[in-house]
Amino acid sequence: MSLLKLTDVAMVYGGRVTALEHVNLTVEKGDWLAIMGPSGSGKTTLMNIIGCMDKHTAGQVVLDGIDLNEVTKNELTQIRRDKIGMVFQQFHLIPYLTAVENLMVAQYYHSIPDRKEAMAALERVGLADRADHLPSELSGGEQQRVCIARALINYPVLILADEPTGNLDEKNEKLVMDLFRELNREGHTIITVTHSDKVGQAAKRIVIIEHGHLRDA
Amino acid sequence: MLMNLQRIKMYLTMVTNALLRRKLRMFIALLAVAIGATIISGMITVYKEVPEQMGREFRAYGANLLLLPAGGSTTIQEEKLQSVYQKLQGHEIVGSAPFLYERLKINESPILVGGTDFDMVKKVSPYWQINGAMPSGSGKELLLGYELAEKFQVKPGERIILALGDGSWESPFTVSGIVRTGGKEEQFAYMDLKQMQEIVSKPGVISMAQVSVVASAAELDAFTRQMAAEEPSIHPQTVKQIASSEQTVLGKLQALVLLVTVVVLLLTLVCVGTTMTEVVSERRREIGLKKALGADNRNIAAEFFGESCMLGLLGGILGTVCGYLFAQAVGTNVFGRSLQVSVPIAVMSVVLSIAVTAIATMLPVRTAVKVEPAIVMRGE
């Protein structure tokens, strides 16, 4: 069974603006998919649907065996909490919490905060020594690695990364991409949305989205 | 249990850090709560103490209780007064002035003379204005009311002849002073009670007593009812003007305190509400992120309410301390007495501060829970 299957999915905002149309996509466990496309093509809309942050208006989305058509908003929150790990272009760390506390927040919403486990996750991304620093005291690359550690902390079935290297310099871009490669090698399923060819090429598979339609690269 | 503790610890970390690391914004809200709590706790402390203090102040306006003869008698035995004072136990008796009134003559003109205890008169009627001095009680001295002094053209230090109505006794008296009260006392003359009792051969007897006691109108009414039942020879009577003026002033004061409290609560509510609305607006992205991480509406609401309750607690404690200092300043400067710390008022003030901040946070929380997690992906 596929980890993620989108069948003829559409998203229409306010009954007038069509963001996605006839989208079909299958992602297997352990896959690494890159979604590429120009601005305004529907990438973010697609990520929101896959990330259980928005509900599509037509078609069917099945994630890890759960038909998202059948779930309520609260259940969607639960699924997002349990199954998705997110990495954002702008990192989105909580500014008044330290690196390790930012990881523990994700644990708190999921189940039980465990500092030891959060420290292990930070160690994994090479930031154990920066655990008690606030985001403002970390470089962009370090913030993104904290963000990746946070995405992994609750053992999600799918990691969604929105332009994960969009705000990073070349050196940090390499560090982050190496991390993604390692995660994928370990069996993590990853979907990245990117403009960058370099990031796209790192994935096992690329799909192109244009004007709300999806096609293979 | 341990799991819950870890969750509580994380919750407190989030709430306290959200407050502590956003100092300026939260300082303004804290200030609003603290000022509100200061005024409320200060006003209530002053209000609680005011009736007693005001009661003391009102004693300067004269007796608020008269003890009159009852049961067909025209006099009261002095020793009966002691039982009355015992029944007033628990209330501070500022003074009790006995009076024995008799009709005597000056220059063949009948006048009403009252024998009294002048030390007590000073306490009960501090508003008496004396030109000269009050009789000392040792010599034959008389205090003349202003109208009588005018009628007989007598000045302090001059001597007059006082006589019994039937002419069986007469004696020269020195006018020690002339009293002005603005009332009927100006038509009378006053001398020492013992001398008076001797002259009219009524030892140990008085016509009435004026009592000044620190008690509310309701307490005095209760006392008069009790006296009527237990001491039939004495008829206690509340001086209505004094008691009701006291009641009116206290009533107005109560209304003022209530009004100020309500206005202050509303202002605190508006200030905290506005600040929290701005906080929610500033933190939309953070709320979206938390929802993207799996927070549900209850989590978001609990965090904002936690922040506001902590704000209310800190502001409430700070304000209550300041309020007590404010009340102390009022007590010392206005009444010349320090006020007691009231634990119930302190607790109520802190609880009220927490409640007001929590209520003020309701509307912003409604806005917060409506934030969609998708905004983090759009990079808003």
Asked, for residue B127, whether it belongs to a domain, the answer is yes
Q: What is the pLDDT of residues B80-139, one digit of tens each?
A: 888 888 887 778 888 899 999 999 998 888 999 999 999 999 988 888 999 999 998 778
CA distances from B58 to B87, B214, B251, B274, B331 (A): 22, 9, 15, 45, 16
Q: Is B241 or B218 the better-scoring residue by pLDDT?
A: B218
Instruction: Report helix, strand or coil for B312.
Output: helix
Q: At what angle do helices B240-282 and B297-330 cross, to 10 degrees?
A: 140
Question: Which chain B residues contact residue A135 at CB under 8 A?
Answer: none
Which of B10, B22, B299, B375 to probe by mutation at the A interface, max A CB count within 10 Å?
B10
Q: Look at residue B279 and tell me if it is in a domain.
A: yes
Q: Does residue B19 belong to any structural domain of this protein?
A: yes
Note the pLDDT tens digit of each residue in B10-46. Answer: 999 999 998 887 777 788 888 889 998 998 888 888 7
**Quick one: B109 and B220 in the same domain?**
yes
- Check whether residue B300 and residue B222 sit in a common domain: no
Residues B233 and B269 in one domain: no
Q: Is residue B2 part of a domain?
A: no
Q: Does domain A29-55+77-216 match CATH 1.20.1260.10?
A: no
The pLDDT assigned to A208 comes to 95
Domain membership of residue B25 (yes or no) is yes
Structure-block tokens of residue B225? 């009812």
Give bridge partners of residue B161 from the DSSP assignment: B172
Same domain, B154 and B276: no
B192 closest CA partner among B117, B279, B292: B117
Spell out the residues 6+ positions from residue B157 whose beta carbon is closer than 8 angstroms to its own.
Answer: B132, B174, B175
Q: From CA A164, how far away is CA B17, in angstroms rounded?
A: 28
Chain B closest CA to A126's CA: distance in Å? 22
| Pick from B7, B14, B294: CB nearest A81 | B294
For residues B222-226, give the mean pLDDT: 83
Q: Which of B13-27, B53-67, B152-166 has the lowest mean pLDDT?
A: B53-67
| CA separation for the pair A96, B144 (Å, rounded) | 83
pLDDT of B303 higher than 90? yes
Q: Where does the pLDDT of residue B380 fall: very low under 50, low under 70, confident under 90, or very high at 90 and above?
A: very low
In a domain, B3, yes or no: no
| Contact state of A112 with B6 under an 8 Å Cβ cutoff | yes
pLDDT more than 90, % of chain B:
44
Test B21 with A109 for CB contact under 8 angstroms.
Answer: no
- Are A89 and B292 an interchain contact pair (Cβ–Cβ within 8 Å)? no
Instruction: Kindly state the average pLDDT of the residues B192-215.
Output: 90
Which tokens is B208 given? 């009435």
| Judgement on whether residues B81 and B185 belong to the same structural domain of the protein | yes
Q: Which of B207, B196, B204, B184 is nearest to B141 (CA)?
A: B196
- Determine how many CB atoms are found less than 10 A away from the CB of residue B190: 27
Mean pLDDT of chain B: 87
Q: B165 near B105, Cβ under 8 Å?
A: yes
List CB contacts (< 8 A) between A109 and chain B: 290, 293-295, 299
Q: What residues are paired with B213 via a beta bridge? A: B93
Residue B373: its chain A contacts at CB < 8 A?
53, 80
Residues B212 and B314 in one domain: no
Closest listed residue to residue A76, CA positions, set B370, B373, B318: B373
The string of pLDDT tens digits covering residues A119-148 is 999 999 999 999 999 999 999 999 999 999
Boundary-marking domain end, from B204, B220, B238: B238
pTM metric for this prediction:
0.72
* Per-residue pLDDT at B378: 62
Whether B81 and B225 share a structural domain: yes
- Total domains present in chain B: 2
Q: Are residues B183 and B326 in the same domain?
A: no
State yes or no: pLDDT of B247 exceeds 70: yes
More confident residue, B313 or B242: B313
Same domain for B70 and B157, yes or no, is: yes
Helices (H), B95-168: 118-124, 146-152
CA distance B68 to B83: 14
Query: Any residues with CB less than 8 A from the CB of B298 and at least 6 apart, and which?
Result: none
Amino acid identity of A61? V
Task: Calculate Rg over the CA atoms of chain A.
Answer: 17
* pLDDT(B339) > 60: yes
Residue B6 falls within a domain, yes or no? Answer: no
For residue A77, give the chain B residue with the closest CA: B294
Is the CB of residue B213 less than 8 Å from the CB of residue B92? yes
**Hey, what amino acid is at A217?**
A
**A5-9, B73-77, B347-351, range with the lowest pLDDT:** B73-77
Q: What local confidence, expressed as pLDDT, does residue B1 receive? A: 65
The whole domain housing B90 covers: 63-238
Q: Is the pLDDT of residue B358 over 60?
A: yes
Same domain for B32 and B95?
A: no
The reply to whether A109 touches chain B by the CB within 8 Å rule is yes
Residues B230 and B277 in one domain: no
Last residue of a domain, one of B200, B220, B238: B238
Q: Kindly list the residues from chain B whose CB atom is less than 8 angstroms away from the CB atom of residue A97.
A: 13-14, 17
Alpha-carbon distance B312 to A217, whole Å? 58
Last residue of a domain, one of B186, B217, B238: B238
Whether residue B5 is contained in a domain is answered as: no
The answer to whether B50 and B250 are in contact (CB under 8 A) is yes
Q: Are A33 and A204 in contact (CB under 8 A)?
A: yes
**Mean pLDDT across the stretch B264-288?**
90
3-state secondary structure of B90: coil
Question: Residues B316, B355: one domain?
Answer: yes
Q: pLDDT in tens for each of the 217 residues of chain A?
A: 899 999 999 999 988 889 999 999 999 999 999 999 988 889 989 999 999 999 999 999 999 999 999 999 999 999 999 999 999 988 899 999 999 999 999 999 999 999 999 999 999 999 999 999 999 999 999 999 999 999 999 999 999 999 899 888 888 899 899 999 999 999 999 999 998 888 999 999 999 999 999 988 7
